[in-house]
Structure 1
Amino acid sequence: MLESCRNAQERWGGVHLLIDRWLKERHELVKAYDGLGAEPGALAQNPKPLQEFCGLLVDYVSAGHFEIYEQLTGEAKAFGDQRGLELAETIYPRIDVITEKLLAFNDLCDEGECVAHKFQELGGLLHERFELEDCLIEVLHTAHKEKAEAQA
């Protein structure tokens, strides 16, 4: 998962400061997840790293929904990219489902009920979400960047 995070930064890093910051947050989230993944059974014994991870998780999810997706959709509308908007309409509902599950995990941890199997499930959800987000960035942002450069 960390490798795909690096690949996303290499492909889109520098394109837009907002996306750069978000991809950096993704990288930090993945590092925190990997750090916890070595001993998921020990999460109850030392809750501080888990709490830090959950904070990163909520920040990352929030940035996606309240900043990045809005920015990407706005770009697609500005450039009249109907294909990109249709893709977003297809992908956003799945991201919403994943978001609900990620936030439910955070709530479990807040209640002190975080268990190892839920933590392992979280990895798959994050991986899927990152792939969907990368697809959105590719279609909704990169294509518009090229159009803007051509018009300049």
Structure 2
Amino acid sequence: MLKSLAVAKEKWGGSNSLIDQWLGHRSQLLASYCELANLPPYEKEHRRLPDLGEIQSFCALVVDYVSEGHFEVYDQVVSACEKTGEENLALARKLMPQIAKTTDFALDFNDKYTGIHDHDQVVELDQDLSKLGQMMETRFDLEDRLLEAVHQVHA
């Protein structure tokens, strides 16, 4: 996921503020995910359970990221796709329901881990983080397809 983010930043970064904002927030989410999941470059030799505050902070980033997409970014993306013709608009309309499925998964993850009060409630965290990582990878691939369409408008 970090490699695809680097490719996305190289390909589309600096082309417009919407894309830069989106990629910046994706970067923050990925860094927090890697740290919580004990993945490189945040891998620790002596793994420990994350603090409950770390989990809740990560959940807030997840909700912020998916909310930003649905309530701010995607409308602008669809509008930009309308300007480039029916093909890009059809692409946006095709991808939005697929992205919505990833949102549902992310919100379920948030609901499960936001209200935790002790470490006994994080027994499945590693397993859930793995599933969330797969979902995020799918979402980022779908979003990158939208980014390509927006980039065509601003290129």
Q: Please identify runs of 4+ aligned residues in structure 1 that moved more than 4 A.
A: none
* Percent identity over paired residues: 36
As a proportion of its length, which structure holds more helix?
1
Shift in Å, 1:41? 7.2
Question: Which structure 1 residue ranges, 5 or more long, are not aligned?
Answer: 147-152
User: Number of residues paired by the alignment?
Assistant: 142
Equivalent residue, structure 1, for 2:134: 124
Q: Is the 8 A contact 1:6 1:27 kept in 2?
A: no
Q: Give, in angstroms, the shift of residue 51 of structure 1.
A: 1.2
Alignment check: 8 A CA contact 2:8 2:144 kept: yes
1:90 matched to 2:94? The reply is yes
Alpha-carbon deviations, 1:74-95, whole Å to 9, x = none?
112234x100111111111110
Residue in structure 2 matched with residue 133 of structure 1 by the alignment = 143
> For the Cα contact (< 8 Å) 2:5–2:27, is it kept in 1?
yes
Shift of 1:109: 0.5
Query: 1:42-72 deviations in whole A, cap 9, x for unaligned?
Result: 14xx111111111111111111111211111
Matching residue's letter, 1:42: L
**In structure 2, what is the equivalent of residue 34 of structure 1?**
34
Q: Does structure 2 conserve the Cα–Cα contact (< 8 Å) formed by 1:76 and 1:85?
A: yes
TM-score in terms of structure 2 length: 0.85
Unaligned ranges ≥5, structure 2? 39-43
> Does 1:144 find its partner at 2:144?
no
Aligned-partner SS, 2:14: coil
Corresponding residue number in structure 2 for 1:60: 65
Alignment partner, residue 108 of structure 1: 112
The answer to whether the aligner puts 1:73 opposite 2:78 as a matched pair is yes
